[in-house]
Amino acid sequence: MKIGILGNGQLGQMLQTSIVDQPELEISLYDTRNYCEQSLQQFLADNDRISYETENIPAHIVAQLEPVEAKVFPGLNALKVFQNRLLEKNALRNAGIDTADFHAVNSLEDVHEAIQTLGLPIVMKTTTEGYDGKGQFVLKTAADAEPAWQTIGGRELIAEAFVPLQREVSVIGCRSESGEIKVWPMTENIHHEGILRYSLYPAHGFSAEKQSIAERYIAQLANSLDYVGTITLELFETEDNLIANEVAPRVHNSGHWSIEGAETSQFRNHMLAISGQVLGNTASKFPAVAMINVIGTEEETADAAGMPETYVHSYGKEARPARKLGHVTLTADSSEQRDDKITQLKRLIPAGVWKP
């Protein structure tokens, strides 16, 4: 079977390498940045199945996927829904998943209406193309309405009630063609300036009750869309609940630990799902695991190179401020040992962001 993946970044590459032991699957990656209509048509015709490494696919490429919709996994319905925060929130609600209250905003009047309906503070976001905290504005008082609209308005926005979150966690699942669902153990995710810096399994003091809510959410979500492949749900943890924030219809940075840490990685199960195979076990192989992103410069990974049970992944990208250049995964016999190991690698994490 020939599988074509749109996107040749680190996610596409990790998808490809996850399944090299199955030579009957021929995987190729398409660089969407060097798009031309003819080469894409050829790519779509050449492959039996098409997948994608990111939901940020330009509309002119999505349009070309329409005629070959039957071989696109996850389906175009999921892709389109999760490209737009309003459609995404509605899909989450329809699947019975709690989200922040929200209000569609298309004008300055709508901003005032959102303040009336939702109260303050409000997080206002562009409905499309915003990621890693870009295209957002937090409104604290009614006087913020105009500057907010001036800064990110003039296009479709969503206003969300501010969630009093304690921390952020994510749940990643995979659904096969036959509807079987496997869920990875959850991680606690620590961001800085809108970018994921590290993920921890297990999350410190995460209750079994919340774990089961998250597992129920991801199953409801995947089933509601007849989804095939790996899917990620990012959640805000509040004192007594989990509130869905965002969905990625793909493998996710917070699941990179699964390459060494889980029986079957998020990448491999995605490839198994989209090629119509039975999924592998998603259990963790270790009592504790951490994944630390390498951002901006790779020099600090020297610290990790000699450490036992530590795995350095370099994406082969040119260094640039705020750019994800690789990640380091470490496994441990306990959460305490894991946290000790991270402390030895804390040069990888901005000052004050690592809080054991």
The stretch among 19-27, 69-77, 143-151, 156-164 that binds ligand AMP (CB under 6 A) is 156-164
Contact 249/83 with Cβ under 8 angstroms? no
- Residue of the chain from 110, 168, 237, 260 that contacts ligand AMP (CB under 6 A): 168
Give the count of beta carbons closer than 10 Å to the beta carbon of residue 312: 18
- Residue of the chain from 35, 162, 286, 315 that contacts ligand AMP (CB under 6 A): 162
Closer to ligand AMP by Cβ: residue 163 or 328: 163
User: Is residue 188 a contact residue for ligand AMP (CB under 6 A)?
Assistant: no
Element (H, E) at 192: strand 187-192
Q: How far is the CB of 110 from ligand AMP (least distance, A)?
A: 17
> 83 to 112, contacts with ligand AMP by CB under 6 A?
100
- Closest Cα partner for 14 from 238, 327, 340? 327
User: Is residue 246 a contact residue for ligand AMP (CB under 6 A)?
Assistant: yes
The stretch among 31-39, 68-76, 106-114, 161-169 that binds ligand AMP (CB under 6 A) is 161-169
Q: How far is the CB of 134 from ligand AMP (least distance, A)?
A: 8
The stretch among 159-167, 177-185, 318-326, 331-339 that binds ligand AMP (CB under 6 A) is 159-167
Contact 152/126 with Cβ under 8 angstroms? yes
| CA-angle at 172, arms to 168 and 173, nearest 5° | 150
Place of tokens 């929200």: 102
Letter for the amino acid at 98?
D
Strands laid side by side in the 136-139 sheet: 102-105, 157-161, 122-126, 136-139
The stretch among 144-152, 155-163, 173-181, 273-281 that binds ligand AMP (CB under 6 A) is 155-163
Question: Which two structure tokens, joined as six digits, stand for 330?
Answer: 């470490």
- Residue of the chain from 51, 245, 275, 293 that contacts ligand AMP (CB under 6 A): 245
User: Is residue 163 a contact residue for ligand AMP (CB under 6 A)?
Assistant: yes
Closer to ligand AMP by Cβ: residue 32 or 245: 245
* C-beta contacts of 264-268 below 8 A and 24+ residues apart: 264/182, 265/18, 266/172, 266/174, 266/184, 266/230, 267/14, 267/15, 267/17, 267/18, 267/19, 267/230, 268/18, 268/19
Number of H helices, E strands in the chain: 12, 16
Q: How far is the CB of 85 from ligand AMP (least distance, A)?
A: 7
User: Is residue 54 a contact residue for ligand AMP (CB under 6 A)?
Assistant: no
User: Is residue 196 a contact residue for ligand AMP (CB under 6 A)?
Assistant: no
- Residue of the chain from 165, 190, 213, 353 that contacts ligand AMP (CB under 6 A): 165
> Coil, helix or strand for 106?
coil
Closer to ligand AMP by Cβ: residue 62 or 165: 165
Closer to ligand AMP by Cβ: residue 100 or 262: 100
Residues 6+ apart with CB under 8 A from 291: 187, 198, 199, 253, 254, 256, 257, 327, 328, 329
Element (H, E) at 15: helix 10-17
Q: How far is the CB of 143 from ligand AMP (least distance, A)?
A: 20
User: Is residue 123 a contact residue for ligand AMP (CB under 6 A)?
Assistant: yes
The residues binding ligand AMP (CB under 6 A) are: 100, 123, 130, 133, 160, 162-163, 165, 168, 191, 194, 245-246
